[in-house]
Amino acid sequence: EVEVKTRYIGHEVKCFDEVDSTNNVAKRMAEDGAPEGTVVIARTQSRGRGRRGKPWISPQGGIWMSIILRPEVHPSTAPLLTLVTGVAVARTLKEECGLDVGIKWPNDILIGDKKVCGILTEAHARFNTLEYVVVGVGIDTNVDISHFPEDLREGATSIKNELQRDIKSSELISRFLKNFEDVYDSFKEGKMDEILREWRRMSKTIGRRVEIRKQLGEVVRGEAIGINSEGALILELDDGTLRKVISGECIHL
């Protein structure tokens, strides 16, 4: 039921009632040789995965999907695909819902200051060559956040909660795939600086005081002043020194 307006993204769409995780299904399909642009969508996920091994609640009404990509780029640039995807989701939600959409580094799409979408990028490299990347996108569209467990409800919202009505998921998916293809094409053409400019414009992190929780419990606090061409966040610490952070959980203070 998803109308395809793209050249190659979503020309193969596999829809399921329930899967463990669309990222897992997409990975298996990629291993079996599925072409670039193959999209996996499920109505519900029994074991949806978030970043850092956190579970991702995926009830009926949300958009749970994964895209298989095979870009011919160095594996070290795969994390940029999270920013590429973030720009495409933010553009789509802005155009379709007219909401105060923004991006929290590195990969959360916010409405106001609440999270409405998460992105999970998983790359598979072999002999230092990128074989495929699975980009997973979870958007809380027609779901009611008040039914979520309390700890996950905090800081989260859905399009339904914001607009007080349901939206047409198939329409949103089809617009997203078009936007995704446009931004992803720019990425492959080496125009990452253009994408980063759009990312910065939509960023709700830059200019704010943030706390980054890194692996092993390290915490860095400072003002987010920019992102560099690798997609790393640049912080100005309290003593005025600059610090580059490649990954971690970002909290807006």
Which stretches of the chain bind ligand BTN, using CB under 6 A?
21-23, 45, 48-51, 54, 56, 58, 64-66, 108, 118-120, 136-138
Q: Which is nearer to ligand BTN, 64 or 187 (CB)?
A: 64
| Torsion 225-228-231-233 (CA) sign | negative
**CB of 173 vs ligand BTN, minimal distance in Å:** 12
Which three-class secondary structure state does DSSP give residue 215? helix
Q: Are strands 209-213 and 129-139 parallel, antiparallel or unpaired?
A: unpaired
- We find the least distance from the C-beta atom of residue 252 to ligand BTN, in angstroms, to be 15
CA–CA gap between residue 149 and residue 241 (Å, rounded): 40
Identify which of residues 58 and 169 has a Cβ nearer to ligand BTN in the complex. Answer: 58
CA distance 129 to 38: 20
Structure tokens belonging to residue 143: 């779901």
Instruction: Using the minimum distance from each CB to ligand BTN, give the nearer residue, 140 or 162.
Output: 140
| Beta pairing class for 129-139 and 114-126 | antiparallel
Question: Contact at 8 Å (CB) between 83 and 196?
Answer: yes
Closest approach, Cβ 168 to ligand BTN, in A, equals: 19
Minimal distance, residue 125 CB to ligand BTN, in Å? 20
Of residues 54 and 244, the one with the C-beta less far from ligand BTN: 54
- Comparing every residue's Cβ against ligand BTN, the nearest one is 118
